[in-house]
A and B are shown apart, each in its own frame.
Chain A
């Protein structure tokens, strides 16, 4: 089963802001090629990080999630944000290969 949790405007607070561990949130859309490329990489990393770092994705193509995208000032996707204790503490914009992404996230924490 996928370790990546699909979040939306309704459960963002519970899944991300009140999570008991750091959360990597992937703001993506179905029309974005690089986002599609990132999906399997996030699946792999979510499995690897299970219990340590949570991986959540938000589909910005859903109208209901546009407010979240606006709130976090998403202008480019893929856009990955690391949340810790309810705060966005680090930004990654654009595609990263698996090794690069793992290293960057682990360094940021």
Chain B
């Protein structure tokens, strides 16, 4: 249990996206058409973003059978198994960029590529997105591998 307590401190301690310029991303009808980087993402790097406590930490909220080797899957969000069968690339990109534009304002899921309309952001994260554009593309590429 002490081990668990230690791990906990990292629940949301993900690192900051580097000081790259933040692009304006338009979400239209729950989808983002173009890759944020103009390139396809890397699914292997995306898996690291998904489970990394200092990256997306998606596993904090989403169970994921593909990562059954990892400890501590959260259960506040839907299970990720087969998510690629349910959404298109463009929809998944929109969900990761700003899920509030897809699910509505009530959702628990943070926006991972959005800096507007936030309140009392800690200094060290001010003006920064949770993930970099590349990390968004990588995690989307990873999600696309989750088929049933």
Q: Do A and B bind each other?
A: no
Chain A residues with CB under 8 Å of chain B are none
